[in-house]
Amino acid sequence: LCFTLHLILLRDFINWPSSLLPLILNLRQMVHFKCVANTACSQCRVLGSASESGLVTLSHILGKMIPSDLERRILEAKQKGFVPFLVSATAGTTVYGAFDPLIAIADICKKYKIWMHVDGAWGGGLLMSRKHKWKLNGVERANSVTWNPHKMMGVPLQCSALLVREEGLMQSCNQMHASYLFQQDKHYDLSYDTGDKALQCGRHVDVFKLWLMWRAKGTTGFEAQIDKCLELAEYLYNKIKNREGYQMVFDGKPQHTNVCFWYIPPSLRSVEDSEERMSRLMKVAPVIKARMMEYGTTMVSYQPLGDKVNFFRMVISNPAATHQDIDFLIDEIERLGQDL
Ligand SMILES: *Cc1c(COP(=O)(O)O)cnc(C)c1O
């Protein structure tokens, strides 16, 4: 939420430095673009509720933005007199773990002078890995990036960063010049007074945890941790992709550690009628999850998405997990779901 407010403020500060009021009024005339596949979207809620028509959701392939569709919708919006101002791309969507094509999106943003934001809350950690960081190619061209080291990198909650390209922009946009707090005549380096840069004032120094971990593990330590999680996800994917009773939600190897699948109990495997199959399949994951919780053996989240009924989304972010844990998970789902 705070990131979103920041984004609006930053973006607006560039266009209307003299006053923030036109921002609020003009929001109705502005448009921001976001992929519908990304469901963790308080950003959409904030921007969307401030302007009913201000949010354009785009079509997508497996959760990935389609650049030609983005460009078409930008032109459409401009024709209607709107001012497209923000494209919010995602590097690692919450459900599918999909990465938007950032280079193509950056080209479009540059062409139409639109702020490019990359939500790397979940996928940003992959930048630590030489093997996987190509998935974020183009992120270096973004105007701003969100990144949650408390997710993939295992920093204790909470540790979230908003990185803004232009140096000094946060300061000039947010500073209140509170002379009782941020005196300019202090006899030491004022760059340590970071409080005036942000919307908030007194807060935890959350980044300290990341700094300590980085010192202890080094970049190669984080890299090993992240590569391990991705390797485990691939192991799970390889084990279940052709296994009887499992069906993948999308084809191909997952890009992140999100492995999305249905468990099809034996009684459902021969049901051909697709309506009956769907209405029964919808109820499978919630029952297995309830049993997981009851037995206390494992926890995997599930959700429906678009026209897809409840499926499991196994996300691996704990590098201490092992191949045996993954084997156990598969056996356990079968044990808990075989009579459904
Ligand atoms: C988790 C997540 C968020 C939300 O991050 P918070 O710091 O919890 O607000 C945003 N975007 C994506 C893609 C996420 O996975």
Of all protein residues, the one whose alpha carbon is nearest to atom 2 of ligand 1 is 121
In angstroms, the CA 55 to CA 84 distance is 10
DSSP 17: T
**Do both 180 and 248 map to the same domain?**
no
Q: Does ligand 1 come within 6 angstroms of the Cβ of 148?
A: yes
Q: Does ligand 1 come within 6 angstroms of the Cβ of 298?
A: no
State the pLDDT at residue 35: 53
Question: What is the atom index within ligand 1 of the atom nearest the CA of 160?
Answer: 7
State the pLDDT at residue 57: 66
Give tens-digit pLDDT for 102-121.
999 999 999 998 889 999 99
Residue 270 lies in a domain: yes
In angstroms, the CA 121 to CA 1 distance is 13
State the pLDDT at residue 49: 41
Q: Does ligand 1 come within 6 angstroms of the Cβ of 119?
A: yes
Give tens-digit pLDDT for 9-53.
665 555 544 433 334 434 444 555 655 444 334 444 444 444 445
Q: Tell me, in angstroms, the distance from the centre of ligand 1 to residue 146's CA.
A: 9
The verdict on whether omega for the bond into residue 183 sits within 30 degrees of 0, i.e. cis, is no
**Do both 261 and 307 map to the same domain?**
yes
Looking at per-residue confidence, does 201 or 211 come out higher?
Answer: 211
**Do both 98 and 187 map to the same domain?**
yes
**Do both 222 and 109 map to the same domain?**
no
Mean pLDDT score, 219-235: 97
Residue 60 lies in a domain: yes
Q: Tell me, in angstroms, the distance from the centre of ligand 1 to residue 122's CA.
A: 7
Give tens-digit pLDDT for 89-104.
999 999 999 999 999 9
Give tens-digit pLDDT for 156-200.
999 999 899 988 888 887 777 777 877 888 888 888 788 888 777
Please, which residues bridge with residue 83 across strands? 30
**Do both 46 and 92 map to the same domain?**
yes
Q: Does ligand 1 come within 6 angstroms of the Cβ of 2?
A: no
Averaged confidence pLDDT in the chain: 85
Helix axes 102-112, 67-79, angle to 10 degrees: 20
Q: Does ligand 1 come within 6 angstroms of the Cβ of 43?
A: no
φ, ψ for residue 212, nearest 5 deg: -65, -45
**Do both 36 and 175 map to the same domain?**
yes
DSSP per residue, 254-297? -SSSEEEEEE--GGGTT---HHHHHHHHTTHHHHHHHHHHHHTS
**Do both 47 and 193 map to the same domain?**
yes
Question: What is the atom index within ligand 1 of the atom nearest the CA of 1?
Answer: 9
Residue 4 lies in a domain: no
Q: Does ligand 1 come within 6 angstroms of the Cβ of 312?
A: no
Of all protein residues, the one whose alpha carbon is nearest to atom 12 of ligand 1 is 121
Identify the helix (H) or strand (E) that includes residue 310.
Answer: strand 308-315
Mean pLDDT score, 287-306: 95
**Do both 113 and 197 map to the same domain?**
yes
State the pLDDT at residue 210: 96
Instruction: Give the count of domains, the chain.
Output: 2
Domain enclosing residue 311, as ranges: 218-336
**Do both 244 and 332 map to the same domain?**
yes
Mean pLDDT score, 262-277: 93
CATH code for the domain in which residue 25 is found:
3.40.640.10
Residue 11 lies in a domain: no
Among 134-148, 151-165, 173-187, 324-338, the minimum mean pLDDT is found in 173-187
**Do both 125 and 227 map to the same domain?**
no
